[in-house]
Amino acid sequence: MSLYDLPITKLSGIGEKRAVLFRKLGIFTVGDMVSCYPRSYDNWSATTPIAELVPDERCVVRGKVATPVSTIRISGGRTMAKLSVCDDSGYLNLVFFNNKYISSMLRYGEEYFFMGKVTYDRYGYQMVSPEFNQASQTAVITPVYHLTAGLNNHMMIRAAKEALSMLPEEMHDPLPQELRTRYHLCDLSYALHNVHFPADIAAMEQARHRLIFEELLELNLGMRLMKSRSHEQTAIRMEHDYAAAFIKTLPFTLTGAQQRAVNDCIRDMREKPSPMNRLIQGDVGSGKTAVCAAVCYHTVKNGYQAAFMAPTEILAGQHYETFIKLFADTGLQIDLLTGSMTASQKRKVRERIENGESDIVIGTHALVSESTVFSRLGCAITDEQHRFGVAQRAGLASKGEHPHVLVLSATPIPRTLGLIIYGDLDITVIDELPPGRTKVETYSIGSDKRDRALGFIKKQIDQGRQAYIVCPLVEEGEGDAEMQNANDYAAELMLGVFRDYPVGILHGKMKPKDKDRVMEQFASGEIAILVSTTVVEVGVDVRNATVMMIENAERFGLSTLHQLRGRVGRGQYQSYCILVSDNGGENTEQRLSVMCRTNNGFEIADMDLQMRGPGDFFGNRQHGLPQLDIADFSDTETLAQSQEAAENLLRMSPDLRDLSLKALRAKIHRLFASSENTMN
């Protein structure tokens, strides 16, 4: 019987009512409680002498109760209890509200630890409602858990203690002894006890390290197992290489990195016994579309259809236009399929796809819809893959008999992370921009300088260039507020500084048709200034645009800012990015200064990871990875170790079929069962 089969109500003091609260925290079973690791710890050993307390800081004091507790009534039928404690260096006043037990809990003359925020006034140092523990009984380090209304830390501590006491004496450790020795990892039982109630800091660190390592290892192994599974499928062979012939017709010479990417794909499609399953990762503007076009041409010339899925209507439309031009003299049939087309338009295109008239279909997720049936899909390409879940990517691939799969991403992700996130894919990195690109000059300004910035934009437009202005962000609730906000903001600009210039608006609430029209007008130069919400973020290509101004820059993650900035600097003109922000917080300043300093997406991604943790990447769980209990991806050293360990284990036992790995296999299964990735 596993503790994961025992409902949380088996713990004393947890009835059905309280169990609801535990479930809110994701704790359904006693086992879940054991793996509900503390979010931080209070260190009661780091005491400060009273005389050295620092106002406004959270401190720990070891002191003796120096006065009896005096309780008085205050307004609203509440009570206030006051007392003083002392150590060798001075006195500290304590205040508690509405706690009638204080006088029995804090006894005159006895010694306690107190932890809380310190204030200082004319009566001296004070703490309001500090936490406290008897000095003789205090553990050095106590756990602090995630809480929810109705559940306090004491209840969590009690539940964790009892859950741990139910662990069997002899635990089977999913990590083989050999591996633990090699990476200096403590055993599971020690780790579980010390992650909750560590004997000291070193024990806590050791326990956490072991659990983090294990979780990353499981994640790694799970992703690798999926990858090897996809290798079992049969392939569509595309013997002849047509890419080279196509590349000759392009209006430019491919960069070395683009050529390598094409080669990788063609090699996969011609030689591998299994279908291509490749990610092309290249910074904005690195020319992924041309690589795709070559792959599509190769696919069609070998007798198959190619599908190219983009995350937005705008982007799908733009790719369609690009492809029509690139394939103008080839006779290839290219079609567009998006959700906003009329029912009869869609039906016609779907007929062409089904009866094989279409060679290349470009579209949005309408491509994945059940009513889209391909006659012979040979290659499924997904652009800006971070916008799609793992499931949608798989959806497109399921439209054929194990077609070749290519995904494109401009979200630069540090390499270590990429290995995990895209563990099921082979990776090609395009690490070179087409020649002649200049660095986008980036400035971070306060709103007091906005007028100057707008003047600068005017000058650029007078020289024939175009500009993007990203609207201030609206607070939660978006939807109509987004539209309202975009409209108001644009109106202000149209009536004010830009009254003599053509201004267009683009926001998420617009009908796709209207969006397309605005985008077309911007692309053709009819509109000089495009005021938009972040819908321009992805992939749009207007080479004449040279300025990107972003309001409320502090509210965007670095990766998003980098994507936005990627809309300019795509042509021969020097381009500029102006980040407007009045939030002078240290973190904001630091983040925006990274943008000013570098244009390198990978460097920015690394900084983002360091400064914010991986939240920006994993917000909304966009990568479809399982939820982690304890690990995060900023611990790159453990990440690298776990990767090495995963490789070694799989080398020894390719399917983890080895008996000693049974428990590990079960844990991987559990980790992935909780996410949309299904493993079996």
* Cα 565 from Cα 550, distance rounded (Å): 9
C-beta neighbour count of 17 within 10 angstroms: 9
Q: From the CB of 478, what's the least distance to ligand ADP, in Å?
A: 26
| Closest to 660 measured CA to CA, from 182, 2, 176, 214 | 176
Number of residues that bind Mg ion (CB under 5 A): 1
Of residues 518-577, those binding ligand ADP (CB under 6 A): 539, 541, 543, 570
Is 255 an interacting residue with respect to ligand ADP (CB under 6 A)? yes
Query: Is residue 58 within 8 Å of residue 117, measured between CB atoms?
Result: yes
For 492, residues 6+ apart whose C-beta sits below 8 A from its C-beta are: none
Q: Is 259 in the site for ligand ADP (CB under 6 A)?
A: no
Listed residue (358, 512, 621) closest to 367, CA to CA: 358
Q: Is there binding between residue 382 and ligand ADP (CB under 6 A)? A: no
Cβ nearer to ligand ADP, comparing 346 with 565: 565
Residue spans of beta strands (DSSP E) within 187-259: none
Query: Nearest residue to ligand ADP, using CB?
Result: 287
Answer for which of 84, 142, 206, 258 binds ligand ADP (CB under 6 A) is 258
Which residue, 508, 498, 502, 500, is CA-closest to 528? Answer: 502
State the helix-helix crossing angle for 288-301 and 256-271, rounded to 10 degrees.
30
How far is it, in rounded angstroms, from Cα 268 to Cα 262? Answer: 10
**Does position 566 bind Mg ion by CB under 5 A?**
no
Stretch that binds Mg ion, among 42-50, 386-394, 535-543, 671-679 (CB under 5 A): 535-543
**Nearest in space to 386 (alpha carbons), one of 143, 90, 616, 99:** 616
Among 281, 286, 485, 563, binds ligand ADP (CB under 6 A): 286
- Per-residue contact string for residues 400-439; x = within reach of ligand ADP by CB under 6 A: ----------x-----------------------x-----
Pick from 3, 261, 290, 548 the residue near ligand ADP by CB under 6 A. 290
Is residue 643 involved in binding ligand ADP (CB under 6 A)? no
Note whether 282 binds ligand ADP by CB under 6 A: yes
Query: What is the SS3 assignment for 317?
Result: helix
Task: Answer yes or no whether residue 599 interacts with ligand ADP by CB under 6 A.
Answer: no
Bridge pairing between strands 124-128 and 90-97: parallel
Closest of 40, 60, 372 to residue 201, by C-alpha: 40
Using CB under 6 A, pick the residue from 143, 174, 275, 287 that binds ligand ADP. 287
Please, what is the minimum distance in Å from the beta carbon of residue 536 to Mg ion? Answer: 13
Specify the residue, 482 or 537, whose C-beta has the smaller distance to ligand ADP.
537
**396: partner contacted, choices ligand ADP, Mg ion, none (Cβ within 5-8 A by kind):** none
Q: How many CA atoms lie within 13 A of 17 on its CB side?
A: 3
Given a contact cutoff of 8 angstroms between Cβ atoms, the answer to whether 132 and 37 are in contact is no
Rounded Cα gap, residues 64 and 193, in angstroms: 31
434 binds, among ligand ADP, Mg ion, none (CB under 5 to 8 A by kind): ligand ADP
Cα(546)–Cα(77) distance, rounded to whole angstroms? 65
- Of 42 and 537, which CB lies nearer to ligand ADP in the complex structure? 537
**Nearest distance in Å: CB 292, ligand ADP:** 8
Determine which residue in the list 11, 50, 61, 284 makes contact with ligand ADP, applying CB under 6 A. Answer: 284
In 544-655, at which residue ranges do the beta strands (DSSP E only) sit?
545-550, 576-580
Closest approach, Cβ 288 to Mg ion, in A, equals 5
Q: Which does 255 bind (CB under 5 to 8 A by kind): Mg ion, ligand ADP, none?
A: ligand ADP
Q: What is the DSSP string of 274-331?
A: S--EEEEEE-TTS-HHHHHHHHHHHHHHTT-EEEEE-SSHHHHHHHHHHHHHHTTTT-
Chain residues that interact with ligand ADP, rule: CB under 6 A: 252-255, 258, 282, 284-290, 410, 434, 539, 541, 543, 570
Chain residues that interact with Mg ion, rule: CB under 5 A: 539
